[in-house]
Chains A and B, each alone.
Chain A
Amino acid sequence: MAVAFYPGCSHHALAEEYDRSARTICAHLQLELKEVEDWNCCGATAAHSLSPDLSLALNMRNLSQVKKMGLDEVITPCSGCFNRLKVAAHEIEHHPAALQNFAAMAQCELPSQVNVRHLLQFILEQYPSQQIESLVKKPLRGLKLAAYYGCLLTRPAAVVQFDDPEQPVALDGLMRSLGAQTVTWSHKAECCGGGFSASEPGIAGDLGGQILASAKDAGAEAIVAACPLCQMNLDSRQALGCDLPIVYFTQLMGLAFGYGWNEMRFSKLLTSPKPLLSRLGLL
């Protein structure tokens, strides 16, 4: 199976471990990722904050690049990119006239009917849990995780149409397929404030701190994330005494599938999961 892949800007440096682990587990699942040719940044919060139209146009261009490759589905591992691409696809469907304008400006065809899915969503919808379970060589027994979804992976529900926006379960289910446990906690879909980690670190620290505290309070020993912005933000907000590793779901899939510490680039995480994983005999 082949599918267009939109890595997003953070894949190159800040979230290299996410990118590498995602590509490795996709290969393991015999999924061929075709990087979107000549993609551009989704504009993230900056574009829609200063010009909602620009945000739509930037992502319309990305979707048209997917179409150019003869594909009509794109997946991305970043919740922020996912949300911007998904909103653009939704607008193309519902307000084609406005978007047609942007296509003319960018000198491309208006891309219709491009399906946008987050990598997590794609894996869950494409691979039955039995198949994932059958690939597990090293069950993540004893690992107590807080599955964190953040805000943009499931919201707004009417546009994104993935899982439940308040009590999502997809990532929990996937982690259980790998043999891990997930805790019941109340901050799985709260915003971590990652969009402000550079410009207003106080806000990011406030919101990120609440999430870390809630995960710890619920008895989690690590948080599993599905977005480079969330991961980066949470991992850099660990206040004194808080040392919860924030790992990518793709790293844990790789670990369970039999890949090692180095291959999954666990050492790139700011808070090392080594003591935890060693204690559980998972390394």
Chain B
Amino acid sequence: MMLTESPIRRLDAKAPGLAEELKRDLDIDITRCLECGKCSGGCSYAHGFDYTPRKMVQLIKLEERGKLLRMRALWTCLSCQLCLDRCPSSIDMPRILDYLRGKAYAERLNDVHPEIEKFYEIMLSDIRNNGRISETLMMARFNFATRRYFSNADLGMKLFFKGKLKLFGPKTKNLNSLRALFAKLLFRSPAEQEPS
């Protein structure tokens, strides 16, 4: 019997909830991981991550939900699919990250890369409102929302002179079907996230 709680973390062999959740919801079995690191050595941006993909698998095994949902790499992963294609066990890491990011978004846990989330939201609100996106308006709204008034300004000028910036483009006509999808499938409505 222990009188004081041990300062040493105690391991429990029982499969953690998150691993079981991934198996159930995504049919992805992380026990297949060989811990080889091939995913992480070739990852497009692991050199800028707080956790490499291999470490993420370990976080799942250790039920570190909080770390996973708040990590920077959740937002700076490029979804380039390299890790999946190189994995000797074909573990679909990009899909796991989509799943976790969706949760982090729904639970408003992203305080590491709000600008990336904002960009996605602006893009999605464009799609919800028009069915398609207009890069020019989207960029303007993004720069305004993140107060980066001069970000990419050089590029903007170049594009302007090339005639590549157009304010309005063709829209999707049947927007009702799209809005139904947004209403049911996006955890948070992009409307409530419009730049104030």
Contact = CB atoms under 8 A, between A and B. Distances in A.
Interface in A39-81: 39-41, 43-54, 57-58, 61
Interface in B40-96: 44-45, 48, 76, 78-82, 84-85, 90, 92, 94-95
Contacts of A1: none
A77 B184 CA distance: 30
B76 A45 contact: no
A13 B134 contact: yes
Interface in B118-149: 118-121, 123-124, 126-127, 131-136, 138-139, 142
Contacts of B134: 9, 12-13
A49 B73 CA distance: 12
A13 B135 contact: yes
Nearest to A267: B162
B13 interface: no
Interface stretch (B4-12, B15-23, B29-37, B170-178): B170-178
B180 A107 contact: yes
Interface in A132-157: 151-152, 155-157
Contacts of B174: 38
Interface string A85-126: 000000000000000001001111000000000000000000
Interface residues of B, number: 65
Contacts of B158: 236, 270
A159 B166 CA distance: 34
Contacts of A151: 44, 78, 80-82
Interface residues of A, number: 54
Contact of A106 (B102, B142, B159, B178): B178
Interface of B: 44-45, 48, 76, 78-82, 84-85, 90, 92, 94-95, 98-99, 101-102, 105, 113, 115-121, 123-124, 126-127, 131-136, 138-139, 142, 151-152, 155, 158-159, 162-166, 169-170, 172-174, 177-178, 180-182, 184-187
19 contacts: A9-B134, A12-B170, A13-B136, A13-B166, A14-B164, A16-B164, A38-B172, A41-B172, A48-B79, A50-B187, A52-B98, A54-B124, A105-B181, A106-B177, A151-B80, A155-B82, A196-B76, A198-B142, A206-B45
Interface of A: 9-10, 12-14, 16, 38-41, 43-54, 57-58, 61, 102, 105-108, 151-152, 155-158, 165-166, 190-191, 193, 195-196, 198-201, 203, 206-207, 236, 267-268, 270
